[in-house]
């Protein structure tokens, strides 16, 4: 079977990482969560007291440290210089600041290079915001996954409650809307559907149905 690269982009909470992980597992491909990489940099910058508006300092930090994504079955661990930051990168503080860190052109340039190196000569499923448009412009399959804001917020809310966290639906809607706005309006590599990407609205679909749709598209190309 021919192997391909799969790019999955879309707004926050559309189900990209859940679906991407399952597709990668089914195909035996490498899964790369690029959002986790921007989150890891944001977490470390907050911890080290780096000014999140200081593009040069953030980029210097990124170039001098190593972010690793470790595939451990369905769970993907994220490490910076060997320190496990998997859970620490999902806090409200990181949520609030990550799109600012990701808006800096120099940071994006370095991240894109790291992501392209990670996927070189590999069959990958990569998810993010600019994968089909910038990171893997030649990907054989590009998906743009979206869902209504209410549905995306509801899913995130239920996920948090299931994990035993407190959650407020209104706050989640606000957080997701702000992040989407920043991601869509930034000057460098904004979130947008690539011209050759296939749009899947997951509002009324189950995870299994989305995976099935994508697997069908994969089989048409392999």
- Interface residues with ligand C5P (CB under 6 A) are 12, 34-35, 38-39, 98-99, 102, 128-131, 179, 183
> Least distance (Å) from ligand C5P to the CB of residue 148?
17
State yes or no: 18 annotated in a binding site.
yes
> Least distance (Å) from ligand C5P to the CB of residue 116?
12
Read off the tokens for 197. 């990407």
Asked if residues 40 and 65 have their Cβ atoms less than 8 Å apart, the reply is: no
> Least distance (Å) from ligand C5P to the CB of residue 36?
6
What is the 3-state composition of the chain as percent helix, strand, coil, each rounded to the nearest 5? 50, 15, 30
State yes or no: 14 annotated in a binding site.
yes
Buried (b) or exposed (e) across 117-128, using 16+ Cβ within 10 A? ebbeeebbbbbb
Between strands 75-80 and 67-72, the pairing is antiparallel
State yes or no: 139 annotated in a binding site.
no
Closer residue to ligand C5P in complex, CB, 179/218: 179
> Least distance (Å) from ligand C5P to the CB of residue 204?
22
Closer residue to ligand C5P in complex, CB, 85/131: 131
State yes or no: 12 annotated in a binding site.
yes
Residue 11 burial class via C-beta count within 10 angstroms: exposed 0-12, middle 13-18, buried 19 and up: buried
State yes or no: 167 annotated in a binding site.
no
Q: Backbone phi, then psi, for 184, in 5-degree steps?
A: -80, -30
Binding residue numbers for ATP: 10-18
Binding residue numbers: 10-18
């Amino acid at each position: 079977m021919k192997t391909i690269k799969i790019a999955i982009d879309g707004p926050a909470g559309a189900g990209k990482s859940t679906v991407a992980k399952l597709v990668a597992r089914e195909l035996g491909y490498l899964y790369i969560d690029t959002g986790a990489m921007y989150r890891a940099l944001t977490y470390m910058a907050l911890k080290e007291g780096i000014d999140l508006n200081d593009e040069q300092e953030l980029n210097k930090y990124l170039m001098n440290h190593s972010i690793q994504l470790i595939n451990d079955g369905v769970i993907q661990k994220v490490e910076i210089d060997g320190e496990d930051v998997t859970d620490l990168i999902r806090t409200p503080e990181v949520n609030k600041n990550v799109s600012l860190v990701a808006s800096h052109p120099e940071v994006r340039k370095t991240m894109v290079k790291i992501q392209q190196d990670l996927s070189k000569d590999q069959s990958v499923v990569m998810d993010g915001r600019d994968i089909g448009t910038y990171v893997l412009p030649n990907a054989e399959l590009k998906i743009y996954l979206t869902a209504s804001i209410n549905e995306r917020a509801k899913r995130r809310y239920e996920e948090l409650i299931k994990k035993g966290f407190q959650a407020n639906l209104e706050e989640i809607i606000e957080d997701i809307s702000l992040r989407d706005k920043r991601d869509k309006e930034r000057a460098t590599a904004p979130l947008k559907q690539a011209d050759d990407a296939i749009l899947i609205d997951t509002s009324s679909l189950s995870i299994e149905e989305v995976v099935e749709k994508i697997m069908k598209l994969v089989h048409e190309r392999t």
